[in-house]
């Protein structure tokens, strides 16, 4: 990996009223359903397959440029997937035909390319919805309504898994297990992990079998929680460093002074997410905070107040820049508030606005809130032991390139590395402004000699393990720039 340092060398020393946090989740939901964000190209042959891949790389390049550190890639849509699976069928969003392979593994390709760019890749699973009548019909005999009809319920024109069926939790946990066993994922991200909001759910027979003596709503909340716990425990039993998270209805419940106006997770869709945090069954949650600051702040604070030591990055609505003509300042203010309460980051919906730079939102991030890189918050509840520091950090020169290298002598699985720099030898690695680059997966880094800096710079490297614990810094190198 190569970096060009020019004016960037001076930027860390510009005074800011608030230094961006070194640790926060900076994610984007990459929507594949209806081809909203990707893919725009259907695979018909090898040429179109290459175009589909290039389109994804453009997105990942942009997210990397904007100093994001996570991609939430929608891999399970409505009982169909974008990877070869023994459990469910290929989605038609890749080729235009349900069940048809695109000739490559999009998920493996995405993970590899994310990791090359220092981006974590989280597999975003739509859980309970199965699809409308047309979507079910397209899947034919492979639809879960045919293979597991006892797990399915219909509400109006839509089909759903029945959370009250104990096998539903097992089925979804098996999908998560297949993903974890077959891919080097950084996370499993659950969506629509709730009862449907439209219509009365026809589960009286299921309740008679499995919840006879319980209050209906308590029983339903318990059903959703059981699914979450089953997936979490399954993932952790296989690869404990893989993070499990969920996107949630933005309002947990009514607040003492503010009504949720009839739309909340707890009472409307049986989503008791605070109990998941209390039970330690989520590594972080992402409440979908798709409303403005007067409502955003109290409900975001409510999540943070009950999060314990887990991050609760706010889900921010870039699409509202278009749909409701929000000013970009609304998003900026919400980022600032998330940082003010130490929520742990932000996740944006949708990626399209970042690619189109809608209302200069990407420019605003790059020159402001995301001016410097950030590391993922460490999973101290899972593991808090830091890896050993990188050894034998050194530099060599090849033409106009400086080549940094260090020893690859790690017992930790798949470490990543971060390079820091400063004008003085005592490099402050707690300050995000001194991060030159981060989440490198090789023990080598190339940097072009700068044309606009003279003097001495000091460099060091640290290591992260899969739980995002960071080592102390290596030996420090001084480089004198004369040209």
Name the 3-class secondary structure at 68.
coil
Residue 11 has pLDDT above 70, yes or no: no
pLDDT at residue number 38 = 98
- Structure tokens belonging to residue 332: 């900026």
Q: How far apart are CA 87 and CA 81, in angstroms?
A: 9
Per-residue pLDDT of 262-282, as tens digits, reads 999 999 999 999 999 999 999
Instruction: Kindly give the residue spans of alpha helices, DSSP state H, lying in 239-344.
Output: 265-268, 273-278, 293-305, 320-323, 328-340
Name the 3-class secondary structure at 228.
helix
pTM for the predicted model, two decimal places: 0.96
Per-residue pLDDT band for 16 (boundaries 50, 70, 90) equals: very low
pLDDT at residue number 409 = 77
Q: Is there a contact between 173 and 87 (Cβ–Cβ < 8 Å)?
A: no
pLDDT at residue number 10 = 47
pLDDT at residue number 18 = 76
Q: Is there a contact between 190 and 147 (Cβ–Cβ < 8 Å)?
A: no
Residue 14 has pLDDT above 60, yes or no: no
Q: What is the mean pLDDT of the chain?
A: 94
Per-residue pLDDT of 427-452, as tens digits, reads 999 999 999 999 999 999 999 988 88
pLDDT at residue number 165 = 98
Residues facing residue 404 across a β-bridge: 395, 445
Q: Is there a contact between 244 and 277 (Cβ–Cβ < 8 Å)?
A: no
pLDDT at residue number 483 = 60
Per-residue pLDDT of 375-414, as tens digits, reads 999 999 999 999 999 999 999 999 999 999 999 877 678 8
Q: What is the DSSP string of 301-321?
A: HHHHHT-TTS---EEEETTHH
Residue 462 has pLDDT above 50, yes or no: yes
């Amino acid at each position: 990996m190569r970096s060009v340092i020019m004016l960037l060398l001076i930027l860390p020393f510009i005074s800011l009223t608030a230094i961006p946090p070194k640790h926060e989740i900076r994610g984007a939901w990459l929507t594949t359903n209806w081809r909203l964000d990707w893919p725009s190209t259907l695979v018909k042959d090898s040429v179109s397959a290459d175009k589909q891949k290039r389109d994804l790389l453009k997105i990942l390049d942009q997210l990397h440029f904007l100093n994001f550190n996570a991609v939430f890639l929608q891999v399970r849509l409505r009982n169909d997937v974008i990877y070869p699976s023994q459990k469910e069928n290929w989605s038609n969003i890749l080729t235009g035909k349900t069940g048809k392979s695109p000739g490559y593994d999009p998920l493996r390709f995405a993970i590899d390319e994310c990791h090359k760019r220092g981006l974590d890749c989280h597999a975003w699973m739509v859980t309970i919805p199965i699809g409308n009548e047309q979507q079910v019909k397209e899947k034919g005999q492979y639809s879960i309504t045919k293979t597991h009809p006892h797990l399915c319920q219909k509400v109006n024109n839509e089909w759903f898994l029945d959370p009250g069926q104990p096998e539903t939790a097992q089925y979804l946990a098996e999908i998560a297990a297949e993903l974890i066993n077959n891919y080097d994922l950084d996370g499993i991200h659950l969506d629509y992990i709730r009862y449907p909001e439209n219509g009365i759910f026809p589960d009286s027979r299921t309740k008679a079998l499995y919840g006879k003596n319980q209050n209906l709503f308590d029983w339903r909340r318990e059903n959703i929680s059981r699914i979450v716990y089953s997936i979490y425990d399954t993932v952790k039993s296989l690869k404990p460093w893989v993070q499990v998270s969920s996107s949630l209805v933005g309002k947990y419940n009514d607040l003492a002074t503010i009504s949720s106006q009839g739309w909340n997770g707890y009472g409307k869709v049986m989503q008791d997410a605070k109990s998941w945090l209390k039970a330690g069954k989520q590594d972080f949650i992402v409440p979908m905070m798709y409303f403005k600051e007067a409502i955003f702040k109290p409900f975001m604070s409510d999540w943070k107040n009950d999060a314990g030591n887990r991050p609760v990055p706010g889900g921010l609505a870039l699409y509202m820049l278009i749909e409701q003509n929000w000013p970009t300042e609304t998003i900026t203010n919400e980022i600032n508030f998330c940082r003010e309460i130490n929520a742990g980051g932000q996740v944006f919906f949708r990626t399209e606005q970042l690619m189109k730079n809608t209302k200069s939102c990407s420019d605003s991030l790059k020159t402001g809130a995301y001016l410097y890189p950030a590391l993922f918050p460490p999973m101290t509840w899972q593991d808090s032991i830091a890896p050993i520091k990188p050894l034998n950090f050194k530099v060599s020169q090849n033409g106009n390139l400086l080549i940094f290298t260090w020893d690859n002598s790690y017992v930790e699985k798949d470490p990543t590395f971060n390079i820091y720099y400063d004008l003085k030898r005592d490099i402050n690695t707690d300050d995000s402004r001194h991060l030159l680059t981060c989440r490198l997966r090789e023990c080598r880094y190339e940097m072009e000699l700068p044309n606009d800096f003279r003097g001495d710079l000091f460099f060091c490297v640290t290591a992260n393990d899969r739980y995002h614990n960071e080592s102390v810094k290596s030996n420090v190198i001084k480089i004198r720039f004369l040209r």
